[in-house]
Amino acid sequence: VIRCRAAVAWAVGKPLSVEEVEVSPPKAGEVRVKIVATSICRTDDHVLEGCFPNVVFPVIPGHEGAGIVESVGEGVTSVKPGDKVIPLCLPQCGECSFCLNPESNYCLKSHVSEPQNLLPDKTSRFTCKGKQIHHFLWVSTFAEYTVMPEYAVAKIDTAAPLDKVCLLGCGFPTGYGAAINTAKVKPGSTCAIFGLGGVGLSVVMGCKAAGASRIIAIDINKDKFAKAKKLGATDCISPHDFKKPIQEVLTEMTGHGVDYSFEAIGHVDTLTAALASCNMNTGVCVMVGVPASGSVISIDPMLLLSGRTWKGTLLGGWKMRDCIATLVSSYLEKKFNSDVLISHTLPIAKVNEGFELLRAGK
């Protein structure tokens, strides 16, 4: 058993509490990882707000991390102690029907099908003050040591800087892949991105890499525009600057609407606006933001009848275990610059300050 620090969420709506926790050794088929760095994704904040009823408290959140394998359980062959790894918040068991389908990146062992509060044997490896603490998406990267199934971890290049590539655990591949894999943005096309957080800015990077000629970035926080422009946005607009709905503004700007629209906020109103912003026939709208569970969207069916495509993405469509190492190599070859997404670097003791900065739009 290892004693180390972790940021524990004891109850909904409460700040995280940095505690000493006990982390049990990995059982058969599991891996214990020393987390070196983790980033904060808005999904972690959704957890603290209590948006997901299937997340059980107390819990150690965090799902965008990078670390080093400390020990492995019986039967583990794909990683060994000392390997640099990225924990996968979307696992890849390699055996289920979706894993076997080359077009799917959704594994049936993922959280949307199966709760991941406990490891597959329905027990936790974490305790604190005598209480069992739950896992989050099996990865719980807000702990200095964490345990996950082997199929929820991927080995990466030994040269990878862990404090930078932790972003490849969720935010960057989600946004970048939403453009490249899910929408399959074509060269010369026009794109609109709603929300310019870590995920939305990664969509901007993906649209640029795919050769889009016009990239319209939308956010109510204009402080986000400088980075969006640096990454390839050609126009930056705030819905607050217009009297008419933003979908009408975008339709006027482009003639018939954009070719591809992306929602990276997670609100039902912006999801609907993003759908109506792409052209009525060949337009593709990708839902990236995660709305609170139980949300319902009501739309005019004519929006889809005329031919539009509305799709969602989890982790940008990458089969995570197969693709993460390649993405890390592309990062090392400077094929994209995800470092631009790093705004602040804090020690774990200041994790709540990190969330304050996120909420303040900084």
Least distance between ligand NAD and beta carbon 226 (Å): 13
Contacts to ligand NAD from residues 165-184, by CB under 6 A: 170-171, 174
Q: Which does residue 314 touch among Zn ion, ligand NAD, none (CB within 5 to 8 A, set by kind)?
A: ligand NAD
Q: Return d(Cα 51, Cα 31) in angstroms, integer.
A: 29
Letters for 233-252 (x = contact with ligand NAD by CB under 6 A, - = none) are: ------x-------------
73: left (phi over 0), alpha (psi -120 to 50) or beta: beta
Cα torsion angle, 155, 43, 315, 335, sign: negative
Least distance between ligand NAD and beta carbon 135 (Å): 18
What is the H or E stretch that residue 237 is in? strand 235-237
Size of the site for ligand NAD (CB under 6 A): 33
Q: Return d(Cα 25, Cα 72) in angstroms, integer.
A: 8
Nearer of residues 174 and 181 to ligand NAD, judged by Cβ: 174
Q: Which does residue 42 touch among Zn ion, ligand NAD, none (CB within 5 to 8 A, set by kind)?
A: ligand NAD
Give first-to-last CA distance, the chain, whole Å. 38
Least distance between ligand NAD and beta carbon 134 (Å): 19
Q: Which does residue 35 touch among ligand NAD, Zn ion, none (CB within 5 to 8 A, set by kind)?
A: none
Q: In Å, what is the CA distance from 257 to each residue of 58, 113, 121?
A: 45, 35, 49
Q: Return d(Cα 25, Cα 307) in angstroms, integer.
A: 53
Least distance between ligand NAD and beta carbon 25 (Å): 30
Locate 290 and state its tokens. Answer: 């995660």
- Residue 31 in 3-state DSSP? strand
Q: Which does residue 93 touch among Zn ion, ligand NAD, none (CB within 5 to 8 A, set by kind)?
A: Zn ion
Residue type for position 112 = V
Q: Return d(Cα 243, Cα 259) in angstroms, integer.
A: 24
Least distance between Zn ion and beta carbon 272 (Å): 23
- 318, 105 Cβ separation under 8 angstroms: yes
- Segment contacting ligand NAD (CB under 6 A): 28-36, 114-122, 136-144, 310-318? 310-318
Q: Is 86 in the site for ligand NAD (CB under 6 A)?
A: no
Task: Summarize as ranges the residues that interact with ligand NAD (CB under 6 A).
Answer: 41-43, 46, 170-171, 174, 194-200, 218-221, 224, 239, 264-267, 270, 288-290, 313-315, 358, 361
